Amino acid sequence: MAANQYRFKYDEYGNTREILVYESGPSVHANSFVNKGTAFTVKERKQLGIEAVLPPSVRDLEDQVEATQSKVAARKDAVEKFRFIRELFDRNVTLAHAVIQSDIEKFIPIIYTPTVELAVQQYSSIFRKANGLYLYPGNINNAEDILRRYAHRDIRIAVVTDNQGVLGVGDQGVGGIAICLGKLMLYTQGAGIAPWHCLPISLDVGTNNESLLADKEYLGWRHERLQGEEYLQFIGRFARAFRNVFPHAICQWEDFSKQNAFSTRDAFVDELISFNEDIQGTGAIVLASIFTAMKIKRQKLSEQIFLIHGAGTCGIGVAEQIELALIEEGLSADEAQKRIFALDSKGILWNGRECELYKRKYATNPENHPWVKEDMLCLEDVIEHCGATVLIGTSGQGGCVGCFTQEVIEAVGNNTDRPVILPLSNPEAVIEAHPAEIYQWTRGKAVVATGSAFGPFHLEGKIYTARQASNVLIFPGIGAGILASGAREVLPQFFTAAARAVSDCVSGEEMDEGCLVPRLASLKQISLKVAQAVAMSAVNRGISRPCVFSDFQHEDDEQRMKKLIRRMRWEPDYLPLVAM
């Protein structure tokens, strides 16, 4: 169904209340936003000319969800389940989201990490239907015209990737758009941003993955990656086009390589309402885990020494958020940076050693720490010398599997009664240490969160729970808070506010079990609290648009924002269809 054959009708809060349909007959089924499958009412079937197109029985959404759940369960493996959900999404968006919402904790691993990484690698072979935009050197000069074709959908958020830095699998060419699709489904689930307001975009600048270039089925631009000035010009053309067409929409950069992630984020921070979720979302969820750990330890952030093992995109993003939180606690930037140490594959970062520009801020000064030696690689030695009380693993490399050995964990335990150990590399195959081992080595004293999902552990009659520190708990609320507040830019402080909100969702009983983050099952409630915190951060810093709704005028900013965030939410219920 073409764009001029349907139109969304909004209420004053920007939430869709009905869909005006200008087409009739079998083509009504062709648009996944309009299609209800067997749930079209008898009245709608008559008005839309589809009486004989469907069998006579009418099923409501609840019945459809129940039937669909059993169909998903019948699929033999995770990738087949992913394909089924994606194909359902392409036919009937509302039903797909209602199924996901019915058991969000079960479906997140199917539509997102870890299954989506497998789908990325198989993207060309399992491709069925385009769902998003593919910009490449052959059409980038027409980017503005291409984006305008989506103006009727009132795009509010786009997840944009150059496909090079897919977590755990690297450069996957055009397949990286599958990550964008999964992430936008979670923006809908958590933030309530309607699917038609979401746009996945692949910036296909080629691939250096030789197996893809040699694959006859590969669907991407079959060239080596653009580099240098050609790459920068391509990204610049896209950014200008996006700003011109969607000046109030969020542009979330996704899966850029460590070489380009920071430079792209920083280059357009004043032009677009944009952020890099791999950098800032990861930093925020790790900071949320640390905030909760401080409650358990009954200590301040400024009393800790932080050691980050893996100084790539995620690791430096974590360092940035820790530094900002330390500054908010009263330290100067210089004092904060002195409490943060980082290692990459070449050893500890220190002044005088060659390293990428984005890492240099966290290079240790040997004048302050004379123990620092060139190419210092021994993790245990670094822990002993720097006095680390918080150990964070973000290497994500197979060669670092199990690098948090018993000796390493015990070394952190020598510096503090309650060591905070965060082995965050995922999938589980590349994790730095299994949480059960960490609990055993520290006799239950460690406070742990992980990058992969694990069940609870029993040790000496007590239950310990190392929950997954998933970015999913952060980014939907960030998006909702920005949109609700009308923030004109994305500030680093938004992510600190989000981290505190997530930490505040962890109950005392959960902390007694060692939980540092709340359950994914509460994603909607968590996202509402994160959105409120982010929106108020924007209001308090004077970068939001004023809230002018008449029924909010007698309430304070906080109450107005809370009501607005809730009323902006889209829920997966079938909307009234008005035949035009």
Which positions are catalytic? Answer: 112, 183
Beta bridge partners of 421: 391, 448
Reduce the DSSP state of residue 6 to 3 states and report it. Answer: strand
Q: Which two tokens stand for residue 255?
A: 């899966």
CA atoms of 292 and 297, how far apart (whole Å)? 9
Backbone angles phi, psi at 397, to 5 degrees: -115, 140
Could you tell me which residues are beta bridge partners of residue 350? 364
Residue type, 233: Q
Which stretch of DSSP H or E encloses residue 411? helix 406-413
Distance CA 209, CA 478 (A): 33
Backbone phi, psi, residue 519, to 5°: -75, 145
E strand or H helix at 173, and its extent?
A: none
Sign of CA dihedral 116, 120, 123, 126: negative
Strands (E) across 277-416 are located at: 306-309, 340-344, 347-348, 390-393
The tokens of 72 are what?
């998903």
Q: Give the alpha-carbon dihedral of 104, 106, 111, 114, to 10 degrees.
A: 130
> Among candidates 171, 580, 449, which has minimal Cα distance to 179?
171
Q: From the CB of residue 125, how many other CB atoms can be counted at a distance below 10 Å?
A: 11
Cα 59-568-106 angle, rounded to 5 deg: 55
SS percent in the chain: helix, strand, coil, step 5 = 50, 10, 40
Contact 475, 276 (CB under 8 A): no
Half-sphere exposure of 434 (CA within 13 A, CB side): 8
Could you tell me how many residues make up the chain?
580
Q: Which two tokens stand for residue 298?
A: 């009954």
Distance, C-alpha 463 to centroid of its chain: 29
Are 196 and 188 in contact by the 8 Å Cβ rule? The answer is no
- CA dist 436 and 409 (Å) reads 12
Conformational region of residue 45, where left means phi above 0, alpha means psi within -120 to 50, and beta covers everything else: alpha
CB 38 within 8 A of CB 92: no
- 343: nearest Cα among 363, 325, 326, 323: 363
CA atoms within 13 A on the CB side of 82: 25
